[in-house]
Amino acid sequence: MKPGYKQTEVGVIPEEWQVKPLRAVLSKGRLGGNYANQDRETECPLMKMGNIARGYIDTAKVEYIASGVTPERQHKLTKGDVLFNTRNTLDLVGKVAIWRDELPLAYYNSNLMRLEFDPQQVCSNEYANAALNAAVPLLFCADSPPAPRVWRPSTRGICWACRSSRRPFPNNAPSRRR
């Protein structure tokens, strides 16, 4: 291993970075509503786990909150919301997508969790979405530190590697392997 780097559960990272569980970089996680839904269109589209693709929302098949049901305001999607699939098979739990106002109005159901990140730990929701969907961990982020830099699933759950100082990045970064 090159000088200035260390082996961790998420892989090789610069010595000044820290590995943190996902919960350490979240300020809040909120499950959506448990709403009766239907295929027939109403004024309240409902995003469900089937709408979560790897990194984006798929609106090819949209279900709607049943007529006469008033959704809670806290479950309304806002541009930039990061949604995390909390249920289903191991292959599908953990799918993450970002809401980019694909529809003028939409809500999310109780199989999804809206992730809210600590702005001192995560540079943007767009970055978090990209990092959580990376097949190969992201090693560098152009935003200012201390932003998360590396993500990889581990036996302890999702972990981030974060810069712990404002020192410049080392020039001898290890090569990434697929």
**What is the rounded CA–CA span in Å between residue 162 and residue 18?**
5
Lowest mean pLDDT among 22-31, 127-136, 161-170: 161-170
**What is the rounded CA–CA span in Å between residue 29 and residue 59?**
23
Break the chain into its structural domains and give their ranges: 8-163
Whole-angstrom CA distances from 40 to 34, 72, 103, 106 are 18, 20, 16, 15
pLDDT digits (tens, 9 = 90+) for 85-104: 988 777 778 889 999 999 99
Q: Is pLDDT larger for residue 151 or for residue 83? A: 83
Q: How confident is the prediction for the chain on average, in pLDDT?
A: 79
Q: What is the pLDDT of residue 161?
A: 53
**What is the rounded CA–CA span in Å between residue 35 and residue 18?**
40
Is the pLDDT assigned to residue 52 strictly greater than 90? yes
- Alpha carbon 6 to its chain centroid, in Å, reads 25
Is the pLDDT assigned to residue 51 strictly greater than 60? yes
pLDDT digits (tens, 9 = 90+) for 139-171: 333 333 333 444 444 434 455 555 444 443 343
CATH architecture assignment, domain 8-163: Alpha-Beta Complex (3.90)
**What is the rounded CA–CA span in Å between residue 178 and residue 124?**
25
**What is the rounded CA–CA span in Å between residue 163 and residue 121?**
9
Strands (E), 22-178: 26-31, 37-38, 45-47, 63-65, 82-85, 96-98, 107-108, 112-117, 148-154, 157-163
Which tokens is 86 given?
């909390």
Q: What is the pLDDT of residue 55?
A: 93
Helix, strand, or coil (residue 20): strand
Q: What is the pLDDT of residue 74?
A: 97
Q: Is pLDDT larger for residue 145 or for residue 76? A: 76
Q: What is the pLDDT of residue 127?
A: 86
Per DSSP, what are the bridge partners of residue 20?
160
Please state whether the predicted TM-score (pTM) of the whole model is above 0.85.
no
